[in-house]
Chains A and B, each alone.
Chain A
Amino acid sequence: MKWKTKDGGWSPYLAGALVGLLAIASVYATTQWMEKSNYLGASTTFVRAAGLLERTVVPDHVEANEYFTKEKVRVDWQFMLVLGIFIGALISSVTDKSYRLESVPPIWENRFGSSIGKRAVGAFLGGGVAMIGARMANGCPSGHGLSGMMQLSVSSFVALAMFFSVGVLVAIFVYGRRSL
Chain B
Amino acid sequence: MSIDQMLGLITGILFGFLLQKGRVLRFEKQVGAMLLKDMTIFKFMLSAILVGMVGVGLLADAGIITMSHKPMNLGAVLLGGALFGMGWAVMGFCPGTSIGALGEGRWHAVFAIAGMVVGAALYAELFPFIKSTVLAWKDFGKIGLPEVLEVSRWVIIPFFWAGTISLFFWFEKKGL
Contacts and interface: CB of A to CB of B under 8 A. Distances in A.
Interface of A: 5, 7, 9-10, 12-24, 26-31, 33-34, 37-40, 42-43, 45-47, 49-51, 53-54, 65-68, 75-93, 96, 98-108, 116, 119-172, 174-175, 179-180
| B contact patch SS | helix
B70 A19 contact: no
Contacts of A139: 70
Interface in B15-67: 15-28, 31-37, 40-41, 43-53, 55-56, 59-60, 64-67
Contacts of A45: 95
11 contacts: A15-B18, A19-B18, A21-B52, A21-B55, A84-B13, A98-B104, A103-B107, A105-B92, A131-B95, A149-B53, A155-B73
Interface residues of B, number: 127
Contacts of B148: 154
Contacts, number: 522
A51 B76 CA distance: 22
B12 to A, nearest CB: 2
A68 B127 CA distance: 10
Nearest to A70: B127
Contacts of A147: 52, 68
A105 B80 CA distance: 26
A50 B118 contact: yes
Nearest to A98: B104
B108 A105 contact: yes
A51 to B, nearest CB: 7
A141 B100 CA distance: 14
A67 to B, nearest CB: 4
A20 B124 contact: no
B4 A17 contact: no
Nearest to B37: A180
Interface in B75-107: 76-107
